[in-house]
Amino acid sequence: MDLLEPVLKRAASARYDGKEQHMEHIKKDIVVVGGGPGGLAAAVTAAREGASVLLVERNGYLGGQLGSGLPFLAFLDRKQRQVIGGFAQEFVDRLQEVDGSYGHAYCPFHLSTTLIHPFYSRIIAFQMVKEAGVDLLLHCELTEARVRDGKIESIVVTGKGAQLELEAETFIDATGDGDLGYLAGAECAKGQDDTHVMQPPTLMFNLAGIDFDKFCDFIAEHPEELPYGLKMQNLREGYDADFFRSNPSFTFFGMQHLIKRLREEGRCPIARDTIIFIRQPIPGEVAVNTIRILNFDGSDVHDLSRGEMEAHLQIPILIKMFRDYVPGFENCYLTSINASIGVRESRRIVGKKILNYKDCLEGRVPEDTIGLCSYFLDIHNGNGDDTTGINIEEPFGIPYLCLVSKDIANLMMAGRDISVDPITFGATRIMNVCMAAGQAAGTAAAMALKEGGLPEEVDVQELRRRLLEQKAILKVD
C-alpha cells in the first residue's frame, strides 16, 4: 500500500476541479478547414506565398481520399494533352520518386489514370505541409462559425474535449461538404436541382492475391462484360483485355452481365450494375470501388452512420462474390479498408459565379480561368443502380469567382464544394481538380492578405500569372 500512496495522491490532485474550461485562441493569416486534396493544396500554396497558415483536419492524417486507393483521373484530356499541373503534378512527381505512382497513363475510359500509393500519399502530404511551414491541428472538428457584418471573425473547433477559437483574415472551406460555409450562413446547394438526389458514396477496400493474367484471359473470352452499350458516351475503343494486360495503371469498370445475374439470384449485395476496381502500385493488389449506399446525404450524421455500417457489412459478401465468380480473384483476401466512407456529393457553396454544364460541354475557357478540367460528367445514380458518363470534348475552365462565397466576404472554397451546378459537379469532384482549385484558392488568399483586400477584389490576371509561375496549366494548344 505504501508503494501506491504517491500514485493515488497524484491521481487525486489531477481530478477535474470544476472550473470553467479555458478556450485557447490562435490567430493566423489564413485558416484552411479540411486536409483533403483541395485543403492540402490550398494550405501549402498559401504558406509558400508567405502567409501564416493553420490547417485543421478532423482525422489523424492528411490527404483525405488520396489514401483510399483511388487514382487521379484525367490529368490528360481526350487528345492526351496535360490539363492539370502545378501542385497536383508536384504531388505525382513526389510519388514517383518513391515508386508510389507510374505517372499518367492513357485510358480509353477515363482519359488517363494516375495511380496513387495509398500509404505514401499520406507521408508526402505531411512532408509538404512541414516543408511549407503550415501549422496543423489534427483530430479537431469544426463546431461553430462566428460571423459579423458578412465576414467570419473566428471559428471554434473541438478536439479531445478542448475548444479552440481560430481567427484569420481569410477562411478556406475545404471540408468537401461545405461545413464551414453552412455554419457561417452561406447559401449552399445539394444534389440535382429538381430532385435534390445526391450521388451515392462508396467505401474503398483493398484485395490482394489477384491473378491479373487469369482475369484478362476471362475478359478476352467474355468481351460482353466490358461497359460498351451502357450509358457511357466517354468510352472509346480499345478498353479491352489487351489494354489491361499492357497497362499496370488500369481501372476496370464492367461485369454488368455477371452482376445482373447474381442480383437476380440474390447473390450480390450492391445496388449497382457494374463493379469497379483499380490496380494498385502494390503487386497483386486492387482497390475495390463497388460499394454503393442509396438515398444518402453525406452532410447528415444519421446517413453517415447508416452508410458506414451498411458499407462495412457489404465487404465480406463482396469478397465471397469475387472469389466465387470473378476469374483471377479465387484466392483474393482483404488487406485494408479505407478509414471512412467516401462521400461523392453533399453541399456545394454558392459562389460569386456558378459554373454551368453548358460551359463544360462547349469547352469554354474564360479569361478568369484558374484551372482546367477535362474529365467527363460522371454521374452515379443516387437512388438507382446505373452510372451515366457524358463526354467532354475539350477542356473547360473554372472561373476564379467559383471559389469565392457570394454571401461571406472572407470565405473561399477549395475542393468539391466549389460553386458549380450539379451536372458539372460530376466532373469537378475528382481529386486533381480539387487540388487545382485549392492551389488557386491558397494563392488568391495570400494575395488578398498582401493587398489588404478581400478575395473577390484580387486581380485575377495577376493571380493567373502567379499560378503560371507555379506551373499550373490554364490553357491548352
What is the DSSP pairing of strand 111-114 with strand 135-137?
unpaired
- Nearest partner of 228 among 253, 193, 263, judged by Cα: 253
Q: Which of 381, 111, 387 is nearest to 256 (CA)?
A: 387
pLDDT at 150 over 70: yes
Kindly give, in sequence order, each residue whose CB lies less than 8 Å from that of residue 191, ignoring residues fewer than 6 positions away. Answer: 197, 198, 345, 382, 422
Encode pLDDT of 255-289 as tens digits: 999 999 999 998 888 888 999 999 999 999 999 99
For domain 24-76+118-196+345-470, give the CATH superfamily: FAD/NAD(P)-binding domain (3.50.50.60)
Domain ranges of the chain: 24-76+118-196+345-470, 205-337
Q: What digits encode the pLDDT tens for the residues 206-220?
A: 999 999 999 999 999
Looking up cell 483476401 gives 333
Distance CA(377)–CA(73), nearest Å, equals 12
Give the chain's mean pLDDT: 95
Res. 177: pLDDT tops 70: yes
What value does the mean pLDDT take over residues 67-91? 98
Are the beta carbons of 26 and 136 closer than 8 angstroms? no
- Can you tell me the distance from the alpha carbon of 161 to that of 17, in angstroms, rounded to the nearest whole number? 15
SS3 content of the chain, % helix, strand, coil (to 5): 35, 25, 45
Give pTM, 2 decimals.
0.95
Predicted confidence (pLDDT) per residue in 356-400, tens digit? 999 999 999 999 999 999 999 999 999 988 899 999 999 999 999
70 has a pLDDT exceeding 50:
yes
